[in-house]
Structure formats: C-alpha cells, structure tokens
Amino acid sequence: MASTSLHLSRARFTRFKTKQPFEFGLPNVAANIRQKSDGSASYLTRVSSLLRQQILPKAASVKIVSDTIHLDVLPRDHWQHPFNRKRILFLIPADALGDCVGMTMFLRAFQIAYPTCKIGLLNTGSASDIFASLTNIEIFQLFISANQLKRFDMLIDLSEMAGWKDIATAPVDCEGVLCREFAIPPVPEPVPARPTTEKLRIGILPMASSPLRTLPPQFVAKTISAITDQASDISVVLNAYQGVKDAYKSAIGPLPTTINLIDGFKTIADLMSFIGTCDYVIVADSGPAHITKLYGIPGIGVYTSASPTVLHGRFTNITAWQSDYHGDYCSAPCGLAKLHATENGEIGCMGSLETSREKLVALPSRRDPALVQRLSTVQPVPCVSHLVATYERFKISLTADIAARCHS
C-alpha cells in the first residue's frame, strides 16, 4: 500500500527512550502477558495509558521525547483491501470489556477471512486477557518498541470505525460495525454443551462500572431465593476493583451458607474462566454480559438506562430483561450509560436529579465515591429501583427462561 494512502492516527502516543531494561504489566491481566523492553532505541505508549500517566514521568532513567506522536495508519476507506500475507498492527482504541469482546469476535472472523495475515494488537490494556483468547496474535498491552513496530506492514486505527466518536453516549456494536466495514462475515455464535444434570451451576454478576447499570442488592437477594430450587451451585460475583464492593455486600444481607459469595477475581482471565464454566448467568449491563458471547453461555441480562438492542448485536445467548420505568423526567431506556453532570456540578441522571436531559451537559469532572456508593446500594436511580418494585414479573420470566434454556 503506497504511503500516500495513509493518514495520521486519531490516537496520540508518547515516544520515550531508556537504556535501562524494564517490564510492565497491569495487575488485573494474566502474568504471561507482561511486556519487557528489548533494547530498542525508543518505545511508544498511548498518551492516556497508565504507563504514561503514572510510571514514565517518575522514572529517572526515562527520557520522554514527545507526547504528540501520531502514527501513519490505513484509512477506513481502504479497510476492504486484501490483507493476506500482510503483517497488520491494530490500534485498540480503549479497553472497555464489552467493546473489546466485540473486537475479539471481529478478529476471529478476520483470521478466517485472512488466514495468512499476521496480527498484532497495541493498547489492549485491561482487556488483554480477552484478546489472549485468540490464537496466533501478538499482544502489546501498553507499549511497543521501535524494533517491534518495524515488523508490521501497515497499521489500522480501530477508533476510525463508524460511531466510535460518540460511544460515550451511544453504544456501538463493535463486531457488527467492523465486520461490515472490512466486508467479512461474522463467525457463527458459539454453542455451549447442554448441562448434564438437573441442577445447574448459576452465576450472578450484578455489578457494573456505573450505578446506572448496577443491579440493586435487594434484587440480588430476591433472585437467590427465586432460583434455589433450580440450581445446585449458586455463585454471586462482586468486583474487587470497585470501591463499593464491601457496602454492596453488606446491603445484600446475610446469605445461606450454600451460596458462594466471591469478592471478585484478580484477573480478567479468571473472570472469563468462571463464566465459561457456568450453565447459566444472571448479569447486569456490564463486561461479563459481553464475555458470555465468547462461549455462548445462556442467561438473562438485566438492562436499565441502556438498551440491549445494540449492546448484544446479533447474539441470542442472553435473554434481555428491560426495566420499563416511566417517570416525569425520563423513561427507560434513556440511553445514558454513565452518570452525567449539570452546569453547576450536580452528578446523576435525569430521574435522580429530577431534571431534563438537556441540563446534563457533560461527564463528571470529579469523582464522588460517596454518591456512587449511595446510588449503588441505598438509593438507586429510578429505573434501577423499579426493578425491585416489579420483581415478581422478572421472577416469572427468569425461572421460565432457565427451564427453557437448560432443561428442554
């Protein structure tokens, strides 16, 4: 591909130099994906990466050359170019688990379409374990050396996919968009083995990165009681990396001794392994709901402010249950995935702040841990608390879905 067809990446990188050997890996990523220096003259990392923000500025042996590096990448209108026998480095735009599951499913299809293509992934971050489920792919979770970069024939910046610029407010089906833009068919949905016993291993994963999508603790307690007769092994999985975990656990209340309460998993690989061994899952609108796509694990996903239509794309393994809240200021799904802020700094959503969508002007500029804990455990936003008020309808749907998917 002639150089004149290339343009600069949207992603901005830091170029740095060091003569000292170093290695780096994120704490929630499997140890075998840690990266090491290779004696190159220089290295590149995303300006927004943990490595650049927290490590490099304090490292005495490191010289930061520039924070304004943009790489030459293949434009989107050339993404249908034949890639056989090429060495392609994909620039991963973010490490949100759901988006990266979609990119992983796209890459499965890409490998089938171009079996002789060599693939590398840069900036996989906390989602590195998800991409590591692929075979014959080189993962650069936080940086790439000058020597390694030279090995690739062309670079592709996946943040150029349609809709990515607005993903903070409008979800994108990454797999569907990328398969269309590269003109390749998706792979078939994975089909898990049927349970071999009447009693099931059921996982409940109620926590999301936002209180707009985290399931109420009372909802979790009711669900445990509802499915006890259908499951021999019930595990409730929390998130050890979220600051509200202990308060959330307390709000659920005492659980039967037969229930496995898991504070969380150290790595995403451990979380994936758990989900892959479940017969059925009950999930919030969160990363685990998307991870089920990798294995075809059946379950029910509970949706509040965001709609599952785009989030799940073509996948049918998860049955969607949508909050049907209607109030004076909003109705579910409103489209928000995260808390927003007003001009005077109030943080919440339309329902919790009793205001219009137009007055929520931006994402919050400050963290408010006490607010997040209150909305996650004590006073959920209206579309979330509505799940408890209408629980009996959900219970009927849940038990019927388990019976149909796991016992038919």
Is residue 291 pLDDT above 70, yes or no? Answer: yes
Q: Are 71 and 242 in contact (CB under 8 A)?
A: no
Tokens of 333: 């799904």
Query: What is residue 168's predicted lDDT score, i.e. its pLDDT?
Result: 67
The percent of residues in the chain predicted with pLDDT above 90, rounded, is: 80
Residue 49 Cα distances to 14, 41, 54, 379, angstroms:
9, 20, 9, 34
298-307 residue pLDDT tens: 999 999 999 9
Question: Alpha carbon 32 to chain centroid distance?
Answer: 21
Least confident of 134-143, 166-175, 255-264: 166-175
Least confident of 129-133, 215-219, 347-351, 402-406: 402-406
365-392 residue pLDDT tens: 888 999 999 999 999 999 999 999 999 9
274-295 average pLDDT score: 96
SS3 401: helix
Report d(CA 349, CA 381) in Å as an integer: 8
Give the chain's mean pLDDT: 93
Residue 316: count other Cβ atoms within 10 Å of its Cβ.
11
220-252 residue pLDDT tens: 999 999 998 887 799 999 987 778 999 999 999
Which strand (E) or helix (H) includes residue 211? none
SS3 287: helix
Query: What is residue 2's predicted lDDT score, i.e. its pLDDT?
Result: 43
Task: List, in order, residues 6 or more apart from 189 with CB less than 8 Å away.
Answer: 293, 296, 314, 315, 316, 317
Query: What is residue 196's predicted lDDT score, i.e. its pLDDT?
Result: 66
Q: Are 279 and 201 in contact (CB under 8 A)?
A: yes
**HSE of 164 in the Cβ direction (CA atoms, 13 Å)?**
22
Residue 265 pLDDT level (bands cut at 50, 70, 90) = very high
Report d(CA 68, CA 62) in Å as an integer: 17
pTM to 2 decimal places? 0.92
Least confident of 115-119, 130-134, 309-313: 309-313
Residue 4 pLDDT level (bands cut at 50, 70, 90) = low
Is residue 41 pLDDT above 70, yes or no? Answer: yes
72-81 residue pLDDT tens: 999 999 999 8
**Pair type for strands 260-262 and 13-18:** unpaired
